[in-house]
Structure 1
């Protein structure tokens, strides 16, 4: 089984053109087996690009194809409007990989989605996307690093560590159900807790690998949720173990302020919640391999 997307998910690429990153990654997603059914571009409605019909708006694309997910790869100034356009068209799942959206714009869009479009889930922005191994890949994750079959679900703030963690499992012959990159921006559309809750409810996900990073309080909040609501074993790694206070990493949300948001504080909170905490991604893979060996 998988969470959020599956083999039946149909995708519209927002911001498609013959030279766009959306087309490049959308074609890779299609080659993986994802059902890419439409693209949108206000200036190219009625065209067909690489076999993908293009519509002037998301509403037109949804009406014609019944698309159930959107893949947004547009520049930062256009991304908030693109997210809202998809929500207004009734798309239930939106993946936005765009980096560099101002935090106040993210907050505005997040609050509008919660208030006006409760049936729509946003993944991202500034995220690698989602891959349900062997079924559906939306975003920029390389499909060949994922091994279908479960029993492990992955959730990560960091994109590159997400790829490494998935590949560590694949090298050990450990399959994945779904890998979810939530992104490292200050206002993610989908949180650790959202994904943990979905994995807890998924009967085919037997264990969870969580990748956090310095900055913010998301990992501490996840730890509290795990302690109270997650019955499945969780392994975690926090990127930025050696970062000094005040150091900003590549993500807007990855900044340490005083003693808050440090890797040490996050690791301690997770360990106190019963999570197996690793010191590096390779060790995380090793710990998960041990967990999988003892699954009933």
Structure 2
């Protein structure tokens, strides 16, 4: 979709030159008509960083910002999202114990919030495991999530949530208690039953119907950029291609597309999205 008349935004995408295609994948997004994206930091360990303090996360966050600048060179507007993937708690607990791991990831979130306050990133990411875990792991994960909500509230930014499939409605209550605006809590890899702000995979069924009904949502690929898993979760061309199909088929209107790709993310993240 060359020279799109509206922005085309991927709400959750990764680029990893160390393990994947990096900027070449970003070029695919751009050539397909993509204009804006929220580039989410990868787990620190996947970048070769095994943090033992919050400051150790800076190496992973700085790498995310470095790659973001390379992607901007393609002609894409990039909004970095920094934080700690919930699986990191489990991984670090294996070597340092659960209590120390909880302290490490919370400190990492505090460092990420500093990047937001400096204007280097637009949002935080956190969450809880999307698979069954021991009760003590679940409790620690919930405390980390609450800390992320508190930090997002203090920084005045949005929070992307990685969590189990389903509504996750209790997170709205956690957000309220943390002083966090629930309209800025985004459920990554969302299902339609969530009361959080949904970020749907581009292949989610019923996108057109939800758009026509006035449902506010965003679209994502969760592209992982790993050569060992090419195209996982969806390829970088997916959001622009599927949006183009929906528009050309008449399934959605240009106004619907504007709401998905510009108005909603602009409001949630507090950024300007325009061509």
Q: TM-score, normalised by structure 2?
A: 0.35
Indicate the structure whose relative CO is greater, using CA pairs within 8 Å and at least 6 residues apart: 2
Query: Higher strand proportion, which one?
Result: 1
Structure with the bigger percentage of helix: 2
**Structure of greater Rg:** 1
